[in-house]
Amino acid sequence: VIEKLERRRVEEPEETSFLPHLAEAYFDVGRVPEARETYRHLIELEPGNVPARMALARLQVETESPHLALPWLEQVNEIDPGYAPAWAMRGTILAAGARFAESRPILERAIELDQRDPTLFLWLAKSEVGLREWSSAVEHCDRYFERGGADPEAYLVRARARAKLGRVEDAQADLAEALRRNARFPGQVKEIRRLIDRAQRRAGGTQKEGGS
């Protein structure tokens, strides 16, 4: 298949319809540089080709550093501001890289365009936690669960935010549910337990002051 498509590329240098198939064929056999070059060539021939830029962005995520995908996703946003998948991928990459001030508005835009993917609400909640916006983090976790999300990590995210807000019982309930669902984040679990203990001590101190 590759030889046939390569021959066609030589014979029809201006034809683009088969180039995505050639790039995919390269990727399937592990020829990543050739796949990347083919997508770049397609973009040179068709500067407004959104699927090619998205494919190249995904290739960067899967084979190199996710952050190398960001310029291509930004270009897609410029070409088609209403294309939600590019906003979503861009926002999740930024959030995963702890670039929360950047990820929050991008994720908000993605959700504004398409609310069907509940994971976007979880990524937005993580961004809010990173920005210490605890109430907003709880709200976005709620929206994640309302839309059918079931990732145990979401309970940990909400537990952390609720502990920071002093909502001890709610935080304990979220932590218990995360553990019941076999959450595999021992570092987070330990930190949340510490936050809950601190919130309990703070609440106890407040009650003593009120009683005195």
How confident is the prediction along the chain (212 residues), in pLDDT tens digits per residue? 899 999 999 999 999 999 999 999 999 999 999 999 999 999 999 999 999 999 999 999 999 899 999 999 999 999 999 999 999 999 999 999 999 999 999 999 999 999 999 999 999 999 999 999 999 999 999 999 999 999 999 999 999 999 999 999 999 999 999 999 998 899 999 999 999 999 999 887 655 445 44
Look up residue 11 and give its two tokens: 């014979």
What is the per-residue pLDDT for 206? 57
Task: Give the closest residue to 25 by CA, choosing from 7, 47, 43.
Answer: 7
DSSP secondary structure of 44-101 = HH-TT-HHHHHHHHHHHHHHS-GGGGHHHHHHHHHH-TT-HHHHHHHHHHHHHTT-HH
Q: Which residues contact 61 (CB under 8 A, 6 or more apart)?
A: 69, 89, 93
pTM: 0.89
- CB-hemisphere CA count at 13 Å for 37? 7
What is the per-residue pLDDT for 203? 81
